[in-house]
Each structure stands twice: as structure tokens, then as C-alpha cells.
Structure 1
Amino acid sequence: MDPDHQKKSSIFAPYSSRDPSMDVPVTAGQAGSIMSPYLNFDPAFISPGGDSEFIFPEGANRQRGRLELSFSQIGGSVFAGGAVGGLNGLYSGFKETKAAQLTGAVRRTQMLNFIAKQGASSAQTLGVVALMYSIFGVVLSMGRGVEDELNTITAATATGLLYKCSAGWKRCVRGGGIGFGLATAYCLYTSRDRLKDMFSKD
């Protein structure tokens, strides 16, 4: 081999397979995990359970709080409302323009109007509901100093009552009942394991 070529290869690839300092075992250890080629230790000794380990600032929680979750809830509600309203507007626009016997660009314009109006209306409605629910949830969480199912059910019930309070007491009570029912079903679904443990201890 050309001496110049050997010199260039040694400059651009200093850690070749012939370098004795890189002779580190990379085979699997007794626990089945890959040995680190740099520190030569088994990472399974650090976290035996295999869970990810993170460094949290002092006083920080391992889970996101109610205030942090509220932003994603509001944004998701607006997006879901816009999508559902848009699909409903597409169906309504197709039905109305067909009944009016519109064709061509006029029909497309009318359908776009239906989609935009109903999508914006549904997005605004769900966004307002999510905003009220988040405000109630954050206030309850900060006031009680704990985050549990009671906050969720109370916030949902108060949201339903407040949202329908201007439509009369019957609709107000109905809105609170809907919020209570949805929150109760959500808590029963997400916390069923903890509820089972609570009833099994009793």
C-alpha cells in the first residue's frame, strides 16, 4: 500500500479496528443488556427495573400539573371541535346544495361556507367548555392542594352548570348532570385499578 495513503487513513480514521485501546468487550452481559464500549459497565445495575431515569429540579413533580395539562386540553378540544364541525358542515353543505340544485363553483363556495362556519362554531364551543373546565380544575387543585378524581368530577359538574346557566334552571341542571356523568365515567375508566384496590382493602 502507498505510504501516503496509509498516512491519510491514519489521520482521518485514528480509531481503526487495530487500535488496542478500543479492544473493549461489547457482548451481552449476564442480564442480557449490552455492555457500554466506553465505560465498560452494565447499565442494568443503574436501573434494574428497566425504567427510564430522569433528573428533576428540586421541588418539581414527576408528572405535569393541572395547569400544564390545561393548555393541551384546550388546544385539543378546539382542534376536535373544528374537525367535527367541519365534517358536519361538509355533510350539511352537500345536502343543502344538492337540494338547491347548485353546480360548479357556486356549489363549492357554498359548501366551503358551511364547512368554515360550522367548524368555527364547534371549535369555539368546545374551546370555551375546555377553558371553563380547566379554570375550575386548576382552582380546585391549588385550593385543595391535591389532584384526584373529586377535582375532575367537581370541575366538570361546575362547567356544565355555568355553561347552561343563562338558558334557565332546567337546562342548567341538565348541563351539570351531563358534566357529572361524563366525568364519573371518565374517572371510573381511568382509575378502575385504584378503585379495585380500595374496595379490595375494605
Structure 2
Amino acid sequence: MACQPRGADQGSASEERNGNRQFYNPYQELNLPSRSLYKLPASPEFLFQEEAVAQRRSWGENLTYYTGIGYLAGVSGGAAKGFATAVKSIEPTDTLKLKINRILNGSGHAGRQIGNRCGVIGLMYAALESGMVAARDTDDVINSVVAGLGTGALYKAASGPRSAAVAGAVGGVLVGVAVAGKQALKRYVPI
């Protein structure tokens, strides 16, 4: 006697034969399509109503998001910069193996270096923005701009007060432009 799947006999309607394969559908006897049983909600589900009202990521998600985006953007840009520098430094007497080695080393080195810097900037920005939201108990543009100012100033603080002030101003302006651009996209570009 041959082994059969549990709960299925040879004449069962829940078993379909297709060549040498047997397909078992446990929902066939219920007369329900299996796809309707597994329809998942399209929107997130919240335990408390306060969470559903807040249209914002949590501080941990923010930290992960901005750090990851910063690192990814930095690695991509750094690898491109390292690739261009390595291609310029190739000498006519280099073998193919040496050329490939120069390109890989240049791309990897610059990518890691710039990626780490951008990841740290993203980490500081996320921490400052989440701190501002917690301190002010409101989520608006001011939090983002002040976090940009603080991030620039904090990142360049070791270079002196003048560099910190300039970097803070640049950070605030960049965040202000990004927030304004995001609001313009929301308003004028249909989704």
C-alpha cells in the first residue's frame, strides 16, 4: 500500500491529479476560493486610535530610514567618484588585471568613506528631528529645519565655530528646500 498525504484518500475531492503530481487543496470542501481567505489589508492596522491619527514614522523607524538612505546614497555617489578617479589614474602600461584592481579599490574605498559620512549625517538628523518632535509635541516644518541646522553645525563642530555655522546654515537651507519641494509635489503632482 502506497503512502498518501494525511487526510486524503484515493477518491477524495480535495485531491487533483495532474500527470504524476498530486495537488492537495484543503479549502475545496468548503467551497471557498483560497485567494479570498488570504486577502491582506492594504493599509496598516493599528492597536490604538492615536497611532492611526499620527501620519509619521516612529523615532526608531526614522533613525533606520535616514541612516540607511544616507549610507546608500553616499556609497553610490562615492563609488561613482572612486570609479572616475580610478579610470583617470590608469596608466597605459597597466595590465587588464591591474586596471580592474585599481577600479575596484578606488570605488570601494571612496564608496565606504563617503557612505559612512552620509550615514552619520542621516543618523544625527533623525535623532535631532525625533528629539524636536518629542520636545515640542508637534510635527511641523520647523522641526525639520532646526534638525537640519543642528545636524550641519554638529557635524562640523570639530572644525571650528565658523565652519559649524556655515554647515548649519547649509543644512537648514537644504532641509528647507527639500521640505518645500515635498509639499509642492504633494500639492501639484497627482498621484
| TM-score, normalised with respect to structure 1 | 0.66
Matched, 1:96 2:89: yes
Match 1:70 to one of 63, 72, 75: 63
- Indicate conservation of the 8 Å contact 2:83/2:106, yes or no: yes
Change (3 A) 1:97 1:59: same
Change (3 A) 1:124 1:53: closer
User: Could you tell me how far apart the structure 1 residues matched to 2:174 and 2:14 are?
Assistant: 67
Match 1:132 to one of 116, 124, 132: 124
Q: Which residue of 1 aligns with 2:182?
A: 190
- Indicate conservation of the 8 Å contact 2:69/2:122, yes or no: no
- Indicate conservation of the 8 Å contact 1:78/1:123, yes or no: yes
Change (3 A) 1:103 1:66: same
Paired residue secondary structure (1:97): coil
CA displacement at 1:52 relative to structure 2: 5.2
User: Could you tell me how far apart the structure 1 residues matched to 2:43 and 2:179 are?
Assistant: 28
Structure 1 stretches of 5 or more lacking a match? 1-6, 14-21, 23-36, 39-50, 197-202
User: Could you tell me how far apart the structure 1 residues matched to 2:101 and 2:89 are?
Assistant: 12
Change (3 A) 1:55 1:156: same
Matched, 1:156 2:148: yes
| TM-score, normalised with respect to structure 2 | 0.70
Structure 2 stretches of 5 or more lacking a match? 1-9, 17-30
Opposite residue 181 of structure 1, the aligned amino acid is V
CA displacement at 1:10 relative to structure 2: 5.5
User: Could you tell me how far apart the structure 2 residues matched to 1:142 and 1:130 are?
Assistant: 18
Q: Give runs of aligned pairs for residues 44-59 of structure 1, distance below 5 A.
A: 55-58=45-48
Q: Which has the higher contact order (CA 8 A, sep 6+)?
A: 2
Q: Which residue of 1 aligns with 2:74?
A: 81
CA displacement at 1:135 relative to structure 2: 1.1
- Indicate conservation of the 8 Å contact 1:164/1:171, yes or no: yes
User: Could you tell me how far apart the structure 2 residues matched to 1:82 and 1:185 are?
Assistant: 23
User: Could you tell me how far apart the structure 2 residues matched to 1:10 and 1:124 are?
Assistant: 60
Opposite residue 70 of structure 1, the aligned amino acid is L
Q: Which residue of 2 aligns with 1:61?
A: 51
Opposite residue 58 of structure 1, the aligned amino acid is F
Number of matched residues?
159
